[in-house]
């Protein structure tokens, strides 16, 4: 395992060379591949400078900010490296940067710099050597950029060892025709995929398997002797026996197309018919350079008897640009590995609209779906623009459930935590305030949508276009499933789940206000959050049972009413065990959406045994059941019987994509932009596991060998310009903790764990 771990880590420590490598992975407004030009969805060899001479239809990620933010990954092979200074230069030609950088002691005040700004490609901004450890969000400080212009920039760094790096290679970007400050986005990408198998089924048709479900189109090359032959092409997500299921039920997709053949050998494109529901007024539309798509894994070709090679069939998969190698996880548990692969791939496959949508049935963004999608996407890709854009879209295009409104603040905060970029927070701060739903506060300190305070004025303030009502979980009883997914939740005027979300919104708004320097707002939100927390525990916590009721006027206790307070840190210490015991007793009595908060609650309370049990379960309410059902993208529900109209491509069912990195492996940002992180594995009985996750500062790697109660070994790889606090599981009796072979003394012990502070580089920690 250790050899594999070393091979997987991007930044493996080597012998110290005495100099720092140039910065890499440069981003402009969070977009890394600003210089990549696509032609109808395919990456091309065209450069930004050639666009004026290009006759094909092209797409590029345009920067829409006249004062963009620059970021980079700092590189050093020396341990405990921190950036102490940077220098950025911006120009209108790459040659200007190259010649400019050749003069090592050049400064922006030099006359040569001024002579270069002659309109023919000179330096337009030089930050000079700037003392700072900021490498994720440095705002351009020159004159506002012009629209529809190609710019180039480069950066160099200094570190705490006194080492100065060389300049990075120049990076190009194109500004948009309108510089309105909107979030920059990539165009959608097409990837050609060939089958993993072709077989003849029992009725003589060719059954083609592409291995995984994906949104796309089909291109196929077929031959005909005389012409006039007609084949039928069937596309679908599910099989019945050895043929595509023609009536799969729900929103599991199937379609067929008749294809008349021309004489000779020709390549055909199957044009996907639009669906009235997912191409309606509220749906996110596919761009014309991609065209309509359908989710399918299988292709069945009827009435074609000639030889058929895999290269004759191509599925054009549509997706947001995605690096398949950015994230990795493997463990000693084969079920857990399959769950990870399912959920990681779901992030790529469901990005086909360029915005987080609810799957194929409606193709509409929903806040709760988007939040789980965001956490998962950020865990497997060094890509943040799709999540940020989705959140900003939803601020003004809200959906109807009360709890969904209360996800906007969460999405905004996690975007900032993972990027370190405040632009979206600052721009939409005043839009976030009403999303806490403070306007619905009643005299008892709780909020309600049922007491008359949800006025037209309040609806306008939160951009609600229709009714707003509490949802708790979905589907609800009497809806699409028999019993629903709310564990018998009893709805009252004062809903425990809604108020738990309300508390978390207020708590996070206090953190946001603090980060933005709004001291009065911070004090207000901190006070209000504590007030709500107190009222929840006063009015909704049953003193006899020690657990939470569903509302003020009921004694019913649903799983949801307890997992949300536990996940958000509301539960008093003396009630923790009662709440945890109740949660264990309910099992997975929630939907795939609710499982996000169930697992957050379980791991936040230190119940790693139960967390691993839920992640690796194999019953019909488990992620393994999605695999067993034949899906390769996470489902909308645990099984068809729980939601008969479900689809097979719903990212809100992929909570393990973020739970495994954040909770089981315990890797989370403590400071915005991963300046400081926590690594706190909760392995339970898992013998070993290894992971690589991308971050805005570079990849973080971790691997452990675990002998429960006897020995725990953890190997980590921390990028330069990042520090970490590492928590090792405490063992029984007297133990010794070593860091890179050195015995550690005066260690902090808390909650059954031991804390060690480390800097960048590769480190081995052992508790035995």
Residue 601 pLDDT grade (very low, low, confident, very high; cuts 50, 70, 90): very high
CATH number at residue 209: 2.60.120.260
**Long-range contacts of residues 568-571, Cβ cutoff 8 Å, at least 24 apart:** 568/500, 568/501, 568/503, 568/504, 568/507, 569/604, 570/500, 570/503, 570/533, 570/536, 570/537
Could you give the number of structural domains in the chain?
4
Distance of alpha carbon 392 from alpha carbon 129, whole angstroms: 35
| pLDDT value at residue 9 | 57
Q: Check if the beta carbon of residue 167 is closer than 8 Å to that of residue 88.
A: no
Q: Let me know: does 704 contact 714? Beta carbons within 8 Å.
A: yes
pLDDT score of 509 more than 90: yes
Q: What pLDDT band is residue 98 in, cutting at 50, 70 and 90?
A: confident
566 and 417 belong to one structural domain: yes
pLDDT value of position 99: 83
* pLDDT for res 3: 47
Phi/psi of residue 287, nearest 5 degrees: -70, 155
For 458-486, what is each residue's pLDDT tens digit?
999 999 988 999 999 999 887 665 679 99
Confidence of residue 749 (pLDDT cuts 50, 70, 90): confident
* 123, 89 Cβ separation under 8 angstroms: yes
User: In the numeric block, which tokens belong to residue 266?
Assistant: 């020709």
User: Which pLDDT score is estimated for 112?
Assistant: 39
* pLDDT, tens only, 350-384: 999 999 999 999 999 999 999 999 999 999 999 99
| 214 and 136 fall within a common domain | no
Contact of 207 with 217, CB cutoff 8 Å:
no
**Per-residue pLDDT, 566:** 98
Asked if 753 contacts 728 with a C-beta cutoff of 8 angstroms, the reply is: yes
Give the confidence band of 746 by pLDDT, cuts at 50, 70, 90: confident
Q: What is the mean pLDDT of residues 674-681?
A: 98
pLDDT digits (tens, 9 = 90+) for 387-420: 999 999 999 999 999 999 999 999 999 999 999 9
Residue 602: partners with Cβ closer than 8 Å, 6 or more residues away: 580, 583, 610, 611, 614
Is the pTM higher than 0.85? yes
Residue 183 within any structural domain of the chain: no
- Tokens at residue 653, please? 């069912």
Among the three residues 152, 175, 198, which one is the final residue of a domain in this structure? 175
> Which phi and psi (to 5°) does residue 64 adopt?
-110, 15
**Where is pLDDT greater, at 126 or 16?**
126
- Predicted local confidence at residue 734, as pLDDT: 86
637: closest CA among 296, 249, 299?
249
Phi-psi label, residue 634: left if phi above 0, alpha if psi -120 to 50, beta otherwise: beta
Q: Name all contacts of 545-548 with Cβ < 8 Å and 24+ positions apart.
A: 545/578, 545/582, 546/575, 546/578, 546/579, 547/575, 547/578, 547/579, 547/582, 548/496, 548/579
In a domain, 184, yes or no: no
| CATH code for the domain in which residue 89 is found | 2.60.40.10
Residue 12 has pLDDT above 70, yes or no: no
SS in 3 state form for 549-584?
CCECCCCCCCHHHHHHHHHCCCCCHHHHHHHHHHHH
The tokens describing 95, both together, are 């040659």
pLDDT tens digits along 137-181: 999 999 999 999 999 999 999 999 999 999 999 999 999 999 999
The pLDDT confidence band at residue 121, using thresholds 50, 70 and 90, is: low
**Is 401 in the same domain as 365?**
yes
The rounded mean pLDDT for the chain is 94
| Whether pLDDT at 14 is above 70 | no
Token pair listed for 155: 């950066």
What does the alpha-carbon distance between residue 598 and residue 449 come to, in Å, rounded to a whole number?
24
pLDDT in tens, 523-582: 999 999 999 999 999 999 999 999 999 999 999 999 999 999 999 999 999 999 999 999
- Residue identified by tokens 């500062």 is 697
Q: What pLDDT score was predicted for residue 105? A: 42
Task: Assess whether 437 and 576 both reside in one domain.
Answer: yes
Say which CATH number the domain at 422 has. 1.50.10.10
Structural domain contains residue 54:
yes
- Residues 306, 365: one domain? no
Residue 11 confidence (pLDDT): 42
What per-residue confidence (pLDDT) applies to 344?
98
SS3 for 655-693 is CHHHHHHHHHCCEEECCHHHCEEEECCCCCCCCEEEEEE
What letter would DSSP give residue 50? Answer: G
The residue whose two tokens read 């459930």 is 401
Q: d(Cα 694, Cα 378) in Å, to the nearest integer? A: 8
Q: Do 166 and 199 have their domain in common?
A: no
Q: Are residues 607 and 752 in the same domain?
A: no
The answer to whether residue 645 is domain-embedded is: yes
The two beta strands, 69-73 and 58-59, are unpaired
Same domain for 171 and 203, yes or no, is no
Q: Give the per-residue pLDDT at 482.
A: 65
- Is position 585 within any domain? yes
Band of residue 102 on the pLDDT scale cut at 50, 70, 90? low
Please tell me whether residues 346 and 428 are part of one structural domain.
Answer: yes
- What's the burial of 95, exposed, middle or buried (CB within 10 Å: 0-12/13-18/19+)? exposed
Residue 2 lies in a domain: no
Residue that has been written with the tokens 């997500």 in this structure: 237
3-state class (DSSP) for residue 385 = helix
Is 712 within a domain? yes
Q: 144 and 232 share a domain?
A: no
Answer whether residue 181 is part of any domain.
no
On whether both 503 and 575 belong to a single domain, the answer is yes
> Using H for helix, E for strand and C for coil, what is the string for 608-657?
HHHHHHHHCCCCCCCHHHHHHHCCCCCCCCCCHHHCCCCCCCCHHHCCHH
Mean pLDDT over 714-737 rounds to 95
pLDDT of residue 10: 43
Nearest CA-CA partner of 557 in 473, 497, 622: 497
Domain of 200? 189-319
Q: Do 356 and 471 share a structural domain?
A: yes
From the CB of residue 759, how many other CB atoms can be counted at a distance below 10 Å? 16
Which of residues 147, 175, 203 is at a domain's end? 175
**Domain end residue (candidates: 151, 175, 199):** 175
Contacts of 531 (CB under 8 A, 6+ apart): 445
Q: Cα–chain-centroid distance for residue 486?
A: 26
Task: Report which secondary-structure segment, H or E, holds 331.
Answer: strand 328-331
Q: Percent of the chain having pLDDT more than 90?
A: 90
């Amino acid at each position: 395992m250790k050899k594999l771990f070393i091979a997987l880590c991007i930044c493996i420590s080597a012998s110290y060379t005495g100099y720092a490598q140039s910065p890499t992975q440069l981003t402009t407004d969070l977009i890394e591949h600003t210089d990549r030009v696509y032609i109808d969805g395919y990456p091309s060899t065209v450069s930004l400078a050639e666009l004026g001479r290009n006759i094909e239809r092209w797409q590029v990620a345009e920067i829409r900010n006249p004062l963009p933010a620059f970021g980079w990954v700092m590189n050093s092979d020396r341990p405990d490296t921190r950036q102490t200074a940077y220098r950025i230069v911006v120009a209108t030609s790459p040659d200007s940067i190259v010649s400019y950088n050749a003069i090592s002691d050049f400064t922006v005040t030099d006359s040569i710099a001024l002579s270069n700004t002659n309109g023919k490609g000179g330096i337009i901004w030089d930050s000079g050597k700037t003392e700072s450890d900021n490498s994720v969000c440095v705002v351009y400080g020159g004159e506002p950029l012009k629209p529809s212009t190609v710019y180039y920039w480069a950066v160099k760094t200094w570190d705490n060892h006194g080492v100065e790096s060389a300049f990075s290679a120049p990076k190009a970007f194109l500004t948009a025709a309108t510089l309105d400050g909107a979030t920059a986005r990539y165009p959608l990408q097409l990837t050609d995929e060939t089958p993993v198998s072709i077989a003849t089924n029992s009725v003589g048709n060719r059954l083609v398997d592409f291995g995984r479900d994906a949104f796309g189109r089909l291109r196929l090359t077929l031959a005909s002797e005389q012409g006039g032959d007609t084949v039928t092409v069937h596309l679908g997500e599910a099989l019945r026996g050895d043929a595509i299921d023609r009536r799969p039920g729900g929103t599991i997709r199937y379609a067929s197309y008749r294809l008349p053949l021309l004489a000779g050998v020709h390549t055909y494109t199957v044009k996907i018919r639009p669906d009235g529901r997912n191409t309606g007024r509220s749906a996110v539309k596919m761009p014309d350079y991609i065209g309509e798509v359908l989710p399918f894994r299988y292709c069945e070709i009827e009435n074609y008897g000639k030889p058929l090679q895999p290269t004759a069939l191509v599925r054009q998969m549509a997706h947001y640009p995605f690096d398949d190698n950015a994230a990795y996880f493997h463990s000693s548990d084969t079920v857990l590995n399959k769950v990870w692969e399912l959920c990681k791939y779901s992030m790529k496959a469901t990005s086909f609209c360029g915005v987080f949508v609810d799957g194929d049935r409606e193709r509409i963004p929903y806040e709760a779906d988007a939040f789980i999608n965001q956490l998962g996407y950020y865990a497997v890709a060094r890509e943040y623009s799709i999540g940020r854009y989705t959140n900003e879209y939803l601020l003004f295009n809200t959906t109807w459930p009360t709890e969904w409104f209360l996800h906007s603040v969460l999405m905004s905060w996690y975007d900032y935590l993972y990027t370190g970029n405040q632009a979206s927070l600052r721009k939409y701060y005043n839009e976030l305030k009403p999303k806490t739903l403070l306007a619905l506060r009643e005299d008892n300190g709780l909020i309600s949508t049922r007491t008359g305070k949800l006025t037209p004025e309040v609806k306008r303030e939160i951009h609600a276009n229709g009714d707003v009502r509490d949802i708790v979980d979905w589907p609800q009883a009497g809806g699409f499933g028999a019993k629903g997914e709310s564990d018998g939740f009893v709805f009252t005027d004062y809903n425990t789940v809604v108020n738990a979300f309300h508390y978390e919104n207020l708590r996070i708004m206090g953190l946001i206000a603090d980060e933005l320097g709004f001291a009065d707002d911070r004090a207000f939100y901190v006070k209000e959050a504590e007030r709500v927390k107190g009222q929840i525990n006063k009015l909704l916590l049953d003193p006899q049972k020690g657990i939470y009721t569903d509302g003020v006027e009921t004694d019913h206790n649903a799983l949801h009413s307890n997992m949300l307070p536990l996940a958000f840190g509301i539960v008093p210490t003396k009630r923790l065990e009662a709440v945890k015991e109740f949660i264990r007793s309910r099992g997975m009595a929630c939907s795939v959406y609710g499982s996000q908060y169930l697992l957050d609650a379980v791991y936040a309370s230190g119940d790693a045994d139960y967390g691993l049990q839920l992640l690796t379960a194999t019953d019909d309410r488990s992620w393994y059941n999605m695999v067993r059902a034949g899906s390769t993208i996470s489902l909308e529900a645990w099984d068809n019987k729980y939601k008969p109209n479900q689809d097979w491509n719903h990212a809100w069912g992929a909570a393990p994509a973020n739970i495994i990195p954040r909770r089981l492996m315990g890797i989370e940002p403590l400071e915005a932009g991963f300046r400081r992180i926590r690594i706190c594995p909760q392995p339970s009985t898992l013998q070993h596991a290894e992971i690589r996750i991308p971050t805005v500062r570079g990849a973080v790697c971790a691997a452990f060998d675990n002998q429960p109660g006897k020995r725990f070994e953890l190997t980590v790889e921390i990028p330069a310009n990042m520090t970490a606090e590492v928590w090792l599981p405490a063992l029984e009796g007297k133990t010794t903790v070593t860091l890179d072979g050195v015995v550690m003394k005066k260690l902090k012990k808390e909650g059954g764990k031991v804390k060690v502070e480390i800097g960048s580089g590769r480190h081995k920690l052992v508790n035995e």
